[in-house]
């Protein structure tokens, strides 16, 4: 399956789970209603026995409002489940950050100087740029010595990667990369959203058992209080019967709720195991290194702590983690992960059954030295590595890409969406290494990240416009920030166009740390720079759309993708028309634009339209169109992306600027498109 089919499969799985949980809730309501009726009969019977003195008569039973009792108890139970699910879902509304906070993780600062943390951030950055998605925030579970990790969030925009202290310290770089690639599989395949929904639903059913436990505790405390104050009096039979009945109802609620949770987690575990196998396989696909993730699993088996976690929320979020967060007891029947040996055998068929012990300290520095030595050795005889030995960064990028692409068979770029390869990983690493050190340092701090974005928006081609832009920026942000942006602008202007979008993605973790007041000032500065020249270019528009989507957070991302493309043909016309006219060259005539538009339209089922006049399309209409297209079902989104790619490639000449513009448009539609490799076809 490709990226869009995985997303559609996750959407169907989510719908099936909602149906299954609804059936479970329905069964719980029936049981609670039945128990409520039984409890009512017992209580009333103890106060008003029948003629025999043993039980109520049939006539007395018919006079009882048992239907109302059953209905009321069912409504109350449903309210408890709904409130529990709503409460938990609202707790998780912050996306991945909420999960990280609940398990006691702290955010790893983007400008950290710790060698282990720096290595972790580098691995995450490389994988994100290779996949063509925003760089997620990284969290560290400092108090956990087990080897484990998780990915959480509602969408690509608010995803986070969490890693335990044990994983960061015990795993080699290749092993850590395998674990991170596994978690990126969950990000790209839509597992995160499903996992958060599962957490909310399970908590709603769990609330029933919690309510039952509260009733039993209250009855127990009440009975102790009564015995203490009435030890010299005779017991009141009716009152005692009511107490017993209340305790029985509480115990029944607890049992019913626990049974519901058992089946809910059983369904959850079965689905999680299959997704773990898929994520393991995807990690190998991304890195072409089965030993990386395989040895990480062997490391878990060889450590005393394994992958176990101490946090009280380990069981609640067990389906999110790379490895099993607990062992023993009933958890083996409800295991959210396949057996460790099974996972290793699938990755390493010739595994000898031996696990790996703890690693010695000082690994990052030793690995850095050995990595540098390997680079120096390769530089002597491998042209792709010459850039690391003193050749210009641009030359290193081109030569390395040529070497990598010769070694790999490449498919179309649109086919690689959601499925990055080692070639993309090498390309991402080269892009990062090719950035000037001044920019690499700047994107790691909130102030520097803002300055880099301001520099990306300046117009180096028209000096008179640049002067207006800097003057305008100074009126909206701090003077020191405007001066920093002006100092960085020459470095940014010299960048290859292929580095501009990755540079944006690298700034996102630092920008996410902005205080709300600073964020408002930053937004005002961006809008002022864009408006300074009196026009809104398509790249400026795409950059702004992607930036706002990432900074807004998960609110828009949680909107269900249910719309059909057949109802949004006018929106697609606007998008394709803008892309068809993006080429400013004189030879790009009206006929060429019409040909490009028709090439894109051919990829959409049942689509028939002609290129509208230029005055019928505006950037405001484009913004509205993309917002609506972002709510399409995944398989319909695939048609939109393919149509956009066909428009760009219609003249059989694809420039870097056009590709990066297409990738920026894809980001606004929440589609991660890896960087185009040299010699690779677009579609």
Contacts of 162 (CB under 8 A, 6+ apart): 96, 99, 100, 103, 105, 138, 139, 140, 141, 149, 150, 151, 152
Distance, in Å, from the CA atom of 397 to the CA atom of 431, rounded to the nearest integer, reads 7
Residue 208 C-alpha from the chain's centroid:
30
Q: Identify the sign of the CA torsion 356, 360, 361, 366.
A: negative
- Residue 128 sits at the vertex; the CA angle it makes with 639 and 668, to the nearest 5 degrees, is 40
Alpha helices (H) along 189-323: 191-229, 237-287, 290-302
183 is catalytic: yes
Nearest to 440 by CA among 491, 364, 366, 397: 491
Listed in sequence order, the residues at least 6 apart from 514 whose beta carbon sits closer than 8 Å to its beta carbon are 446, 450, 522
What is the CA angle 663-420-453, rounded to 5?
40
Q: In this structure, what DSSP letter does residue 55 have?
A: S
Q: How far apart are CA 16 and CA 560, in angstroms?
A: 15
Helices (H), 382-499: 393-407, 422-434, 437-442, 446-457, 463-474, 479-493
Give me the numbers of helices (H) and strands (E) for the chain, helices first please.
27, 4
Residue of 8, 144, 175, 183 with catalytic role: 183
Tokens of 305: 């702590």
Beta bridge pairs of residue 216: none
Instruction: With H, G, I as helix, E, B as strand and everything else as coil, classify residue 166.
Output: helix
**Residue 556 backbone phi and psi in degrees, to 5:** -70, -30
Reduced DSSP (H G I as helix, E B as strand, rest coil) percent helix, strand, coil of the chain, to 5: 70, 5, 30
- For 364, the token pair is 């990052």
Strands 137-141 and 160-164: parallel
Quote the CA–CA distance of 607 and 597 in Å, as a whole number: 12
- Which residue has tokens 């995985």? 6
- Looking at the DSSP bridge assignments, the partners of residue 150 are 162, 321
Catalytic residue numbers, as ranges: 183
């Amino acid at each position: 399956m490709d990226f869009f089919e995985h997303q559609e499969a996750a959407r169907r799985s989510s719908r099936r789970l909602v149906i299954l949980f609804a059936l479970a809730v329905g069964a719980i309501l029936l049981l609670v209603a039945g128990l409520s009726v039984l409890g009512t009969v017992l209580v009333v019977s103890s106060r008003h026995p029948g003629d025999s003195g043993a039980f109520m008569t049939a006539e007395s039973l018919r006079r009882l409002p048992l239907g109302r009792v059953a209905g009321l108890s069912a409504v109350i139970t449903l309210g408890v489940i709904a409130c529990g699910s709503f409460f938990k879902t609202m707790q998780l509304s912050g996306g991945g950050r909420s999960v990280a906070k609940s398990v006691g993780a702290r955010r790893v600062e983007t400008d950290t100087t710790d060698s282990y943390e720096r290595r972790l951030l580098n691995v995450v950055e490389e994988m994100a740029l290779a996949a063509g998605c925003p760089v997620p925030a990284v969290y560290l579970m400092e108090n956990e010595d087990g080897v484990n990790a998780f990915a959480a969030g509602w969408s690509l925009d608010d995803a986070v990667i969490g890693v335990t202290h044990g994983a960061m310290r015990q795993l080699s770089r290749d092993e850590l990369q395998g674990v991170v690639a596994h978690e990126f599989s969950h990000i790209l395949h839509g597992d995160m959203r499903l996992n958060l929904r599962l957490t909310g639903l399970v908590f709603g059913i769990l609330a029933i058992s919690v309510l039952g436990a509260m009733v039993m505790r209250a009855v127990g405390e009440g009975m102790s209080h009564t015995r203490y104050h009435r030890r010299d009096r005779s017991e009141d039979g009716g009152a005692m019967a009511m107490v017993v009945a209340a305790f029985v109802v509480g115990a029944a609620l607890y049992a019913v709720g626990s049974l519901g949770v058992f089946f809910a987690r059983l369904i959850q575990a079965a689905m999680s195991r299959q997704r773990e196998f898929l994520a393991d396989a995807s990690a190998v696909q991304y890195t072409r290194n089965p030993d990386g993730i395989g040895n990480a699993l062997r490391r878990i088996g060889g450590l005393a702590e394994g992958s176990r976690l101490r946090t009280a929320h380990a069981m609640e979020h067990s389906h999110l983690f790379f490895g099993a967060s607990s062992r023993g007891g009933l958890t083996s029947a409800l295991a959210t992960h396949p057996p460790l040996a099974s996972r290793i055998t699938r990755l390493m068929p010739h595994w000898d059954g031996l696990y790996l012990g703890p690693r010695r300290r000082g690994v990052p520095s030793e690995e850095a030295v050995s990595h540098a030595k390997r680079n120096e050795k390769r530089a002597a005889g491998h042209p792709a590595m010459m850039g690391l030995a003193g050749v210009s960064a641009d030359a290193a990028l081109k030569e390395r890409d040529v070497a990598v692409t010769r070694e790999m068979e490449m498919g179309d770029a649109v086919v690689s969406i959601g499925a990055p390869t080692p070639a993309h990983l090498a390309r991402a690493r080269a892009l990062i290494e090719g950035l000037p050190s001044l920019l690499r340092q700047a994107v790691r701090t909130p102030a520097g990240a803002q300055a880099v974005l301001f520099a990306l928006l300046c117009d180096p081609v028209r000096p008179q416009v640049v002067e207006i832009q800097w003057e305008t920026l100074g009126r909206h942000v701090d003077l020191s920030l405007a001066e920093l942006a002006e100092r960085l602008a020459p470095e940014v202007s010299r960048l290859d166009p292929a580095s501009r979008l990755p540079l944006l993605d690298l700034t996102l973790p630092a920008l996410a740390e902005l205080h709300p007041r600073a964020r408002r000032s930053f937004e005002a500065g961006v809008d002022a720079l864009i408006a300074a020249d009196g026009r809104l270019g398509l790249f400026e528009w795409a950059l702004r759309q992607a930036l706002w989507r990432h900074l807004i957070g998960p609110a828009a991302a949680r909107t269900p993708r249910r719309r059909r493309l057949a109802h949004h043909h006018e929106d697609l016309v606007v998008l394709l028309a803008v892309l068809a006219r993006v080429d400013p060259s004189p030879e790009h005539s009206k006929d060429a634009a019409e040909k490009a538009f028709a090439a894109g339209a051919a990829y959409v089922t049942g689509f028939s339209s002609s290129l509208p006049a230029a005055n019928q399309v505006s950037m405001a209409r484009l913004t509205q169109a993309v917002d609506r297209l972002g709510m399409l079902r995944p398989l319909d989104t695939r048609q939109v992306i393919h149509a956009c790619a066909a428009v760009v490639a219609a003249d059989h000449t694809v420039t870097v600027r056009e590709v990066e513009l297409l990738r920026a448009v894809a980001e606004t539609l929440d589609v991660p498109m890896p960087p185009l490799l040299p010699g690779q076809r677009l579609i």
